[in-house]
Structure 1
Amino acid sequence: MDFESVFADVARVIEGIGVVIMAIGLAVVLIRYAYDVLRKGGGSYEQLRVNLGRVILLGLEILIVGDIIRTIIVDTSLETVLILALIVAIRTVLSFALEVEISGAWPWQQRRTE
């Protein structure tokens, strides 16, 4: 095995971990919400959204790491760098939007206290 194929496999594993985190996180969040509905007589929809947003943010950040490794080490061409830049830009916008949904404020503002 050469250097590039090893890191191609590493990037695939990291991306797989990101997907697994999102899938397992979704299951855990939904099970927790169902438990709250059944035991407490009602679950908080807002808490469900916050927890799901956190799971998605974590998964997106890990997927970005895999994309960066693949682009920098495995397939370094102008086209792949531009594709990576577009993917990172889209995921960054998604991350900001999710952060605003979770905290109720922009990341650089003081968090809202409830």
Structure 2
Amino acid sequence: MDFDEIVDDVGRAVDLAGVAIIVCGAVAATAVFVSRLLGRRQALPDLYRLYRQNLGRTILLGLEVLVAGDIIRTVAASPTLGSVAVLAAIVGVRTFLSLSLEIELEGRWPWRKAAAGVDRDRV
């Protein structure tokens, strides 16, 4: 097994971890939502908002891990101009998705500080 094969396998393993994070996180967020829904400890709009936040955080983490896998496979294994351009496009799209999700979850730009005294519900 040569270096390129090892790097490709590591990149695929990181990609698999990213997908697993998204799937497991989505299942966990759904389980928490259903549990709270059946327990009716909170109003439905609040439960839905928390569900979306938990699901969004899971997707953000998974996207970050998937970007790491892309970087490992593209830059370490085959750093051609074409592969780096494809990587740049993939990272650009995933960064846009991450930024959009962050704004959706927090209700503000990521570089803006949270308002003093605001306690965001987190699970």
Structure 1 length as normaliser, TM-score?
0.95
Alpha-carbon distance in 2 for matches of 1:60, 1:108 = 19
- How far the C-alpha of 1:4 sits from its partner, in A, is 0.9
Unpaired stretches in structure 1, ≥5 consecutive residues: none
CA distance in 1, matches of 2:29, 2:95: 23
Shift of 1:40: 2.1
> What is the RMSD computed on CA atoms of the aligned residues?
1.2
The aligned counterpart of 1:18 is: 18
Q: What is the aligned partner in structure 2 of residue 81 from structure 1?
A: 84
Q: Give how far 1:75 is off.
A: 1.6
Give secondary structure in 2 for the equivalent of 1:111.
coil
Deviation sequence 1:15-64 (CA, Å, 0-9, x none): 00000110011000001100000012555111011000000000000000
Give distance in 2, aligned partners of 1:58 and 1:108: 18
3-state SS, counterpart of residue 76 of structure 1: coil
The whole-number CA distance in structure 1 between the counterparts of 2:79 and 2:111 is 33
TM-score (norm 2): 0.88
The answer (yes or no) to whether the contact 1:104–1:111 under 8 Å persists in 2 is no
Please give the alpha-carbon distance, in whole angstroms, between the structure 2 residues aligned to 1:48 and 1:111. Answer: 21
Aligned to 1:67, which of 70, 79, 101? 70
Alignment of 1:1-114 (within 5 A): 1-40=1-40, 42-43=43-44, 44-112=47-115, 113-114=118-119
Native 8 Å contact 1:22 1:56 kept in 2: yes
**Alignment coverage as a number of residue pairs:** 114
Specify every segment of 5 or more residues in structure 2 that has no aligned partner in the other structure, as ranges: none
Task: Report the Cα offset of residue 108 of structure 1.
Answer: 0.5
State the Cα distance separating 1:111 from its structure 2 match. Answer: 1.8
Give the percent of matched residue pairs that are identical in Structure 1 and Structure 2: 41
The letter of the residue matching 1:17 is: A
